[in-house]
A and B are shown apart, each in its own frame.
Chain A
Amino acid sequence: MKRLTVIVGLVCSGLVVLAALVSLVWTPYNPRRVDPGHKYAPLSWTHLLGTDMQGMDTLSRLLVGAQTTLVVGVLAVAIAAIVGVPLGIFVGMGHRFVGEVVARGMDILFALPALLLAILLAAATGASVGTATIAIGVSTIPIFVRMTRAATLTIMNQDYILAAQVSGTPTPVIAVRHVLPNIAPLLGVQAAASFSMAILAEAGLSYLGLSAPPTTPTWGRMLKDANIFIAPTQAVIPGIAIAVAVLGFNMLGDGLRDYLDPRLKEVR
């Protein structure tokens, strides 16, 4: 069962990465080529996944769409980890007052999900991949803070931390040398889980037109633009792609967790 999770996760996420890589060097057609003569072509050998309302090849757009999905996901998780992990360690290792302030700040971020943040940023500066990435990244920070803090707290009770403290090791050194390496596996699992959530969020934002501009093929926008009365498959295909990507990285994270440390199984 566990092995099945890892395998399915690897296959699904691998497919998405492969699609993005392949699209860098080759796509069946130019994903932006409008062909009015072949609107809503059905699935066939010339157009494997058919064409959309402007005659653009769906398979080509699907492959290119994987790029945006992965780039936004990676950058958003990076933002969340770079801000959230040090904050979480800092709070977990120390000060009560700082902890309280950070906790309240995280409360606000919890009430301001990626979608609302993206809406605010888009209203102020115009929607772009950048605003979408920042919005998803910032709204993921609390998850990293909370998890890092909890992990740090358990580590702080260990004897080796006490030994380091008694021998006069400066706190920042303890944080980098003892705390960080010990919570790293947990961070990896969190990164995979957050990555799949980021993909889901990006799909939602591009569905609402709050991410990449209309000229860039994204899965969310393909789903939004599809005409379900004329060609419902054109909506189903990108939808499945999103689900496969989210499910893949999610299961990869789950499998990773069991593999890295069986004791972590019950930690959510």
Chain B
Amino acid sequence: MPLLRAAARRLAIFIGTVVVASIVIFLIVQALPGDVAQTTLGMGATADAVAALRERWGLDQPLAVRYGQWLVGMLHGDFGSSYITGASVVSQMAPRLAVTGWLVGFSVPLSLLVAWPLGLVAAMFRRRWPGAVVNALSHIGLAIPVFFVGTVATIIFAVNLGWFPANGYVTLGTSVSRWASHLVLPVASIVVVQACFLARYVRAGFIDVLTEDYYRTARAVGWTRWRGLVRHGTRNMATSLVTVVGVQIASLLVGAILVEQVFVLPGLGTMLIQAVQARDLVVVQDVVMLLVFAVLLLNFVIDMVYMAIDPRLARGGRG
């Protein structure tokens, strides 16, 4: 079974990549110069106090031992506890994961939904003004940082028009309508930027379709250009789009972290930024590891789905 063997190989590479990534993250946080205990206590602290704190946090043990403890702990669902508050990181992460999850979960399908017609129009009229307009728009959209989009959206729709709250978050359990209204502007900000990015790939995909034999055949039997592109093109364009979405997931997370700051949403990004400001190394290390793991896992899953769709990949591999 070459397919099975290829899948096993991908799985091994995935696990290896995750382990190496965890080592990189651990080393950056733990091995770079900068004594957390000293920083936390301030420069005036006595050497004894610093040593005591280091011992309490386990910083006096060798790096390899600390890495092993961290890794084994995570495998058991124990992400350690915050240096600052002492609370377990998992218990802090859970409610925040939901906020970021909603943000990303709504943004991905919606940006695809916006990018699809934009790319279609851009491909169809690529030599006339609608194509040029969409092209220019997607160029400009790529140049505008997501936090600026969010800020402008707040100024217009929250401060001036008062349609949506300017910031904050309400859980789904508290009030569905208020939960939704707090998510509209953050999600819309991410979608604007992501859709501009994706539209260029949709456009390129549809332009490829225009040169294909099956499209010519469809036209020859009397299909309109719209029908030919929409019916045949979308499916063909979608396969290449899946990889783009995979690559894009990292930038989507970055967008989510920034947007959380704009709208003061209590998500993972906010947790991360607060932890950096407080130099809460355990929290930083855990959250970054979780995000990197999510990105790697998603790419792995996409690889597998791809292989299932197109068995040729199992033989050659695409790296």
Say yes or no: B151 contacts A228, CB within 8 Å.
yes
* Interface check B257, CB cutoff 8 A: yes
Say yes or no: B319 contacts A112, CB within 8 Å.
no
**Closest chain B residue, CB of each to CB of A125:** B34
Chain B residues whose C-beta falls within 8 Å of the C-beta of A100 in the assembled complex = 319
Chain B residues whose C-beta falls within 8 Å of the C-beta of A114 in the assembled complex = 254
Knowing A111-B21, A223-B148 are in contact, say whether A250-B28 is a contact too (CB < 8 A).
no
Say yes or no: B288 contacts A116, CB within 8 Å.
yes
Say yes or no: A228 contacts B155, CB within 8 Å.
yes
Say yes or no: B145 contacts A242, CB within 8 Å.
yes
* Interface check A24, CB cutoff 8 A: no
Say yes or no: B288 contacts A119, CB within 8 Å.
yes
Main secondary structure of the interface of A (DSSP, over half): helix
The interface centre, meaning the residue of A104, A220, A243 with most chain B CB atoms within 10 A of its CB, is A243
Question: A225 vs B272: C-alpha distance in the bound complex, in angstroms?
Answer: 20
Say yes or no: A104 contacts B16, CB within 8 Å.
yes
State the Cβ distance, B130 to closest chain A Cβ, in Å. Answer: 15
Say yes or no: A200 contacts B279, CB within 8 Å.
no
**Which of under 10, 10 to 19, 20 to 34, or 35 or more describes the interface residues of B?**
35 or more
Q: Which of B59-67, B115-123, B136-144 has 4 or more CB atoms under 8 Å from chain A?
A: B136-144
* Interface check B299, CB cutoff 8 A: yes
Say yes or no: A125 contacts B296, CB within 8 Å.
no
Question: A103 vs B142: C-alpha distance in the bound complex, in angstroms?
Answer: 27
Say yes or no: B29 contacts A239, CB within 8 Å.
no
Say yes or no: A210 contacts B145, CB within 8 Å.
no
Knowing A123-B275, A239-B145 are in contact, say whether A251-B24 is a contact too (CB < 8 A).
no
Chain B residues whose C-beta falls within 8 Å of the C-beta of A127 in the assembled complex = 276
Say yes or no: A204 contacts B281, CB within 8 Å.
no
Question: A103 vs B143: C-alpha distance in the bound complex, in angstroms?
Answer: 29
Knowing A113-B250, A243-B148 are in contact, say whether A125-B292 is a contact too (CB < 8 A).
no
Say yes or no: B21 contacts A207, CB within 8 Å.
no
Q: Which of A45-53, A178-186, A229-237 has 4 or more CB atoms under 8 Å from chain B?
A: A229-237
State the Cβ distance, B128 to closest chain A Cβ, in Å. Answer: 12
**Closest chain B residue, CB of each to CB of A100:** B319
State the Cβ distance, A234 to closest chain B Cβ, in Å. Answer: 11
Knowing A100-B319, A108-B21, A124-B281 are in contact, say whether A204-B145 is a contact too (CB < 8 A).
yes
Say yes or no: A121 contacts B292, CB within 8 Å.
no
Say yes or no: A107 contacts B140, CB within 8 Å.
no
* Interface check A115, CB cutoff 8 A: yes
Say yes or no: A247 contacts B140, CB within 8 Å.
yes
**Closest chain B residue, CB of each to CB of A5:** B139
Chain B residues whose C-beta falls within 8 Å of the C-beta of A104 in the assembled complex = 13, 16-17, 20
* Interface check B247, CB cutoff 8 A: yes
* Complex interface bits, A92-113 against B, C-beta within 8 A gives 1, otherwise 0: 0000000010011101101111
**Closest chain A residue, CB of each to CB of B281:** A123
State the Cβ distance, B174 to closest chain A Cβ, in Å. Answer: 25
Say yes or no: A116 contacts B145, CB within 8 Å.
no
* Interface check A209, CB cutoff 8 A: yes
Say yes or no: B143 contacts A204, CB within 8 Å.
no
* Interface check B273, CB cutoff 8 A: yes
* Interface check A190, CB cutoff 8 A: no
**CB < 8 Å A-B pair total:** 150
**Closest chain B residue, CB of each to CB of A251:** B139
* Complex interface bits, B3-44 against A, C-beta within 8 A gives 1, otherwise 0: 000000000010011001100110011101110000000000
* Interface check B258, CB cutoff 8 A: yes
**Closest chain B residue, CB of each to CB of A112:** B292
Question: A232 vs B159: C-alpha distance in the bound complex, in angstroms?
Answer: 9
Knowing A116-B292, A119-B288, A239-B152 are in contact, say whether A207-B139 is a contact too (CB < 8 A).
no
Chain A residues whose C-beta falls within 8 Å of the C-beta of B319 in the assembled complex = 100, 103
Knowing A120-B288, A123-B276, A210-B276 are in contact, say whether A108-B145 is a contact too (CB < 8 A).
no
* Interface check B147, CB cutoff 8 A: yes
State the Cβ distance, A100 to closest chain B Cβ, in Å. Answer: 7
* Interface check B295, CB cutoff 8 A: yes
Question: A126 vs B281: C-alpha distance in the bound complex, in angstroms?
Answer: 11
* Interface check B154, CB cutoff 8 A: yes
State the Cβ distance, A178 to closest chain B Cβ, in Å. Answer: 26
* Interface check A203, CB cutoff 8 A: yes
Say yes or no: A235 contacts B29, CB within 8 Å.
no
Chain A residues whose C-beta falls within 8 Å of the C-beta of B152 in the assembled complex = 235-236, 239
* Interface check A189, CB cutoff 8 A: no
The interface centre, meaning the residue of B34, B250, B299 with most chain A CB atoms within 10 A of its CB, is B250
Say yes or no: B277 contacts A228, CB within 8 Å.
no
Question: A94 vs B276: C-alpha distance in the bound complex, in angstroms?
Answer: 42
Chain A residues whose C-beta falls within 8 Å of the C-beta of B275 in the assembled complex = 123
State the Cβ distance, A42 to closest chain B Cβ, in Å. Answer: 16
Knowing A113-B251, A116-B288 are in contact, say whether A107-B17 is a contact too (CB < 8 A).
yes
State the Cβ distance, B297 to closest chain A Cβ, in Å. Answer: 9
**Closest chain A residue, CB of each to CB of B39:** A126
A–B pairs, 20, beta carbons within 8 Å = A105-B20, A108-B17, A112-B25, A113-B251, A116-B254, A116-B288, A117-B28, A119-B273, A119-B276, A123-B280, A123-B284, A124-B30, A126-B34, A127-B276, A204-B258, A207-B258, A239-B144, A239-B148, A246-B144, A247-B143
Nearest first, the 5 A-B pairs at minimum CB distance are A239-B148, A247-B143, A246-B143, A124-B32, A111-B295
